[in-house]
Amino acid sequence: MKDKIESIRKEYIRAVLDEAHTSASPIHQFEVWFDEALRSDLPEPHAMTLATVDDRGRPSARVVLLRNVQDGVFSFYSNYLSRKGKQLDQNPFASLSFFWPELERQVRIEGKIVRLDADISTAYFASRPRGSQIGAWASPQSEVIPHREFLEERVAFFTEQFEGQSVDRPPHWGGFGLQADYLEFWQGRESRLHDRIIYQWQTDGSWKRGRLAP
């Protein structure tokens, strides 16, 4: 196993990144890169790793889906009672990371988490496929369950309960938004001398741009 892992090598040669190639706004810069990821037809370019920390300082990470970027807020949806939901209530700071290997790019984002307004969560929930709506009611997310049949029985129960009517948003389900105060744009380069451009939010309400050593 060790030899197999250590033998993996890749040189990054697709592009360069410097201050002249980036926007003064990191949010606009993210939109530019995200649009390029979309046009490249990558598999799930909106998939991002969300890292949280519990009340003991233990980190936890998982992949979630980006659903909107507006006014510097990166939004996603989940069960408020899930492990990540509870951790975000305990410690409202988190980080996101996107990795687009086909483009040899990575984006890291840090900031404070807030819950989205209920009307925003309700509107998004209404746009989800019905099966996903039922699933939000049926799954006690992150809790130990006895077997798969337990989940299937709950799906059947809520399917019958909402038969012939729209599915309301569960009170324990909704949106989170990360208000970014730090972003890093990483472009792979040869010999691991990667380009790393960072943006940090300043107290005067502006973004400061700089370069990090690879």
Nearby residues of 162 by Cβ (< 8 Å), 6 or more positions away: 134, 137, 168
Q: Is 82 helix (H, G, I), strand (E, B) or coil?
A: coil
Residue 157 belongs to what H/E stretch?
A: helix 148-161
Q: Tell me if 141 sits within 8 A of 125, measured CB to CB.
A: no
**Catalytic residue from among 130, 192, 209, 211:** 192
For residue 196, give Cα distances in angstroms to 17, 48, 143, 153.
8, 19, 39, 49
> What are the φ and ψ backbone dihedral angles of 10, each rounded to 5 degrees?
-150, 130
Would you say 209 and 197 are in contact if contact means Cβ atoms under 8 Å apart?
A: yes
62 is catalytic: no
Question: What is the Cα–Cα distance from 46 to 67, expressed in whole angstroms?
Answer: 8
In the numeric block, the tokens 């649009």 are attached to: 35
Give pairs for 146-155: CB < 8 Å, separation 24+. Answer: none
CA-CA distance, 195 to 17, in Å (whole number)?
A: 6
Active site residues: 192
